[in-house]
Amino acid sequence: MSRTPPVDDVIVNVDHNRGSRRQSRAWLGGLFRAVALAAVAVVLLVVLLTVTGQRTGEALIALVTGAAGTWYAITSATLVRAIPLALAGLAVSLAFRAGILNIGAEGQLLAGAAAATFATLAAPQLGVATIPLLLAAGCVAGAAWAGIAAFLRQKLGVLEVISTIMLNYVALHTVGYLVRGPLQESTHVFPQSFNIDRIAQLPIIIPRTRLHLGFVFAVVIGVALWWWLKDRAGGFRLRAVGANAHAAESAGRINVARTTTIAFLASGAIAGLAGATQLSGVTYSLYETISPGYGYTAIAVALLARLNPLGVLVAAVLFGALEAGANAMQRDAGVPEVLVSVVEALLILLVLAADRWRTRQVRMTEASI
């Protein structure tokens, strides 16, 4: 009987020592996986649309054109939505890799967006330094928000799943207060903040689209994280702790508390950055619905990518397309947009079931030997 690690296979069975020779095959496998998941998502959507009695054909056409019908749809709908999903997805996957179930990316994202809004107040004095400052503020606020849950976990043994979810609600209501109080726009009518200064807005990287610099951040952080987890000692320690904290502590002499706390804070910082880039690149103003659940969708993104940072980038584009398409479906075919979260949840469950199935096959083979 093989020893069972305390966390899920999704977290554990990820690219164990993929040698460079096997790299290309792994890439192919990943690509196959992405295509398969996209296909499954479409099948699930068709089934749900049919079962709920929608005009399936019309809805699907709206979905495809809304996500990838034109150059503008690809860059300004799909990829723009993929940015927060990728950043929050990287945040979630980093935490999950370390065995921390951070369900709080949503709250950390909101904290980041709120802090970034405060930072833009300094725009007239700071000029071009505003953007770095607001991004840093977002990271720090996200890390601090995650830090509350990290502290509660480390010092008081509070299950981070519950504490991060609670912190999501606290963040939501705090933003609700801020946009009706200290940060409200000057007419004091709408529950949203003032528009941020032009100099605080992230530059557009492709002319005549809405694709902003945040896209580059997501790709750079994704690749960096992938390399760090694969090749660096710190990355190895983090994976070891996530796979089996007890073994890492006793056999590997790894400081588990330190490793998990740092991973938790870094995860929060990346989620906070997602909020800051969303504010500075897309909405230009803070309001309660600045994130339509990106922090939750990010969990699906991370799990479907099997917590691999490069996979997260791919999955984020897939989910960005799904969300952009769903938006068009609601607009053009009257299909409730929330249907997409049903598809996302079913995808997570399918991946979980598939992983269990695979583990069971492996066990049976081991037993027969």
Partner 1 sequence: MIDAFLEATIRWSTPFALAALGECVSERAGVINIGLEGSIIAGALGATVGAGVFGPTFGFVAGALSGLVIAAFFGVFAVALRSDQIITGTAITMFSLGLTGTLYRLIYGASGVSLSTPTTGVLPLPVLSAIPVIGPALFIQPPITYALYVAIACVAWWMARTQSGLALRAVGERPDAATAAGINVRRVQFGAVLFAGAMAGLAGATLVLAQAGTFVENMSAGRGFIAIAIVVLGRWRPLGVAAASLLFGAAYTLQNLFQSLGLSNVPYNLFLAVPYVLTLIVLALFRSGTSSPAALGQREIVSR
Q: Which residues bind partner 1 (CB under 8 A)?
A: 1, 3-4, 7-8, 10, 48, 52-53, 101, 103, 148, 152, 156-159, 161-163, 165-167, 169-170, 173-174, 176-177, 180-181, 296, 299-300, 303, 334, 336, 338-346, 348-349, 352-353, 355-356
Pick 177 or 228: Cβ nearer partner 1: 177
Please state the closest distance from residue 268 (CB atom) to partner 1, in A: 16
Burial of 196 (0-12, 13-18, 19+ CB in 10 A): buried
Pick 122 or 346: Cβ nearer partner 1: 346
Question: Running DSSP on this structure, what letter comes out for residue 5?
Answer: P
Please state the closest distance from residue 363 (CB atom) to partner 1, in A: 11
Question: Running DSSP on this structure, what letter comes out for residue 167?
Answer: H
d(CA 94, CA 239): 9
Please state the closest distance from residue 147 (CB atom) to partner 1, in A: 13
Closest to 295 (Cα-Cα) out of 124, 141, 102, 151: 102
Please state the closest distance from residue 133 (CB atom) to partner 1, in A: 27
Pick 199 or 348: Cβ nearer partner 1: 348
Please state the closest distance from residue 354 (CB atom) to partner 1, in A: 10
d(CA 11, CA 255): 20
Structure-block tokens of residue 204: 């557009």
d(CA 172, CA 270): 18
Please state the closest distance from residue 168 (CB atom) to partner 1, in A: 8
Q: Token match 């990010």: residue?
A: 298
Look at residue 257 and give its three-state secondary structure: helix
Please state the closest distance from residue 347 (CB atom) to partner 1, in A: 9
d(CA 88, CA 313): 11
Pick 181 or 207: Cβ nearer partner 1: 181
Q: Token match 């979905």: residue?
A: 63
184, β-bridge pairs: 193
Please state the closest distance from residue 110 (CB atom) to partner 1, in A: 12
What's at 6, amino acid-wise? P
Pick 158 or 219: Cβ nearer partner 1: 158
Pick 290 or 299: Cβ nearer partner 1: 299
Pick 36 or 349: Cβ nearer partner 1: 349
Pick 1 or 369: Cβ nearer partner 1: 1
Structure-block tokens of residue 163: 């504490």
The Cβ-side half-sphere exposure at 74, using a 13 Å CA radius, reads 5
Query: DSSP letter string over 32-79?
Result: HHHHHHHHHHHHHHHHHHHHTT--HHHHHHHHHHHHHTSHHIIIIIII
Pick 205 or 348: Cβ nearer partner 1: 348
Please state the closest distance from residue 158 (CB atom) to partner 1, in A: 4
What's at 76, amino acid-wise? S
Please state the closest distance from residue 235 (CB atom) to partner 1, in A: 22
In contact, 64 and 327? CB cutoff 8 Å? no
Longest dimension (CA), the chain: 75
192, β-bridge pairs: 287
Q: Please give the radius of gyration of the chain, using alpha carbons only, rounded to the nearest integer.
A: 21
Pick 136 or 158: Cβ nearer partner 1: 158
